[in-house]
Amino acid sequence: MKRTLTTGITIWKSRGLLWPVALLLRATACSVKKTARGLIVEPSQGCTGGCIGCSLPEKPSVLEPETLEAWLGVSPAEPVTIHFSGKHSDPLASPDIESLAVAARRHCSMLSISTIGLGMKPGLEQLAVDRWIFSIPAATEKSWIQLRGNNRLQEAIETINTVRENSTAMVEVVLTIWKASADDIKPFNALKKTHSWKHTKVVFGRFDPDGYHFGRLENIAVNSRECPYSVDENNTLSLKNTPQGCPLSGYLFLDAQGTLRPCPFTGDESPHLTEPEQNSWKQAGEWVKNKNGREYPACRWCP
């Protein structure tokens, strides 16, 4: 709640006085038309992380701004929030990220971007987003190398600080805990203090059996008390608690190929729509019940 309020106040300051009115109108329209209030968008299947052991597609798909416009243009109600993120990818790998941001911002009340903050082109710190979320997998060079096979912690820190100094957008830094970074909360708090990061968060990595690298079982911090997963003597992973509902109930996912899906974790075995037309939004609106009932195979691993 505090996080949402802080985000809202920061955006209000930058978007102007009438921003809450537009937000309220969009939220009401989404509710009346039974359309998702949030859209997660994957700008590219490519990545800028260069982690050892990660195999990306040879020719990563890139979402064209026209495709995003086509989907948003036929939506019965514009989403309140659009969030650029990756599945096994990073939004900054898209050559069209600036055009995508301009197109998305026109159609929502809050545009955020989640990135690992590596390989950022000069000038992108001015990207037209309302919130940057920098997701780092470790807070020490040792654990970073152990996890990623390269040493780019300093680069990530420099990118975060460059954006903080040159953008009016809210900047949040998120530490994702994996097995190699299970003891990194203390060093992360030290980084926060050294660099005066105002908005930070710690989360646990999600198990992803299809993941190219990070989400695999060997990287999950199962020995940490707060980790949502445990493993049994046969090395079989399961959720410690049975969650209710869907954490992304009000969101849909548009992938880099322009396919609309229930969330970033469901694949072709779950429903998906390729045609940007009103009826697709209508059908997607009916997925909420199945999402909350956790009926898709990927839901099994969703904390």
Using an 8 Å Cβ cutoff, are 270 and 297 in contact?
yes
Find the part of the chain contacting ligand SF4 (CB under 6 A) among 54-62, 72-80, 175-183, 295-303.
295-303
Q: How far is the CB of 212 from ligand SF4 (least distance, A)?
A: 18
Specify the pairing of strand 237-239 against strand 229-231: antiparallel
Q: How far is the CB of 122 from ligand SF4 (least distance, A)?
A: 35
302 binds ligand SF4 (CB under 6 A): yes
Report the distance separating Cα 182 and Cα 241, nearest Å: 20
Give the largest CA-CA distance in the chain: 58
Report the first-to-last Cα separation within the chain, whole angstroms: 19
Region binding ligand SF4 by CB under 6 A among candidate stretches 72-80, 155-163, 214-222, 288-296: 288-296
C-alpha 225: how far from chain center? 25
Q: Does 266 bind ligand SF4 (CB under 6 A)?
A: yes
CB 67 within 8 A of CB 276: yes
Total residues contacting ligand SF4 by CB under 6 A comes to 13
CB atoms within 10 A of CB 239: 14
* DSSP secondary structure of 187-217: HHHHHHHHHT--EEEEEEPPP-TT-SSTTSG
Among 26, 88, 107, 291, interactor with ligand SF4 by CB under 6 A? 291
Which residue stretch of 17-25, 99-107, 127-135, 242-250 sits at the interface with ligand SF4 (rule: CB under 6 A)?
A: 242-250
**39 touching ligand SF4, by CB under 6 A:** no
Of the candidate residues 246, 260, 273, 284, the single one contacting ligand SF4 (CB under 6 A): 246
Give min distance, CB of 300 to ligand SF4, in A. 8
Binding positions for ligand SF4, rule: CB under 6 A: 246-248, 262-263, 265-266, 291, 294, 296, 298-299, 302
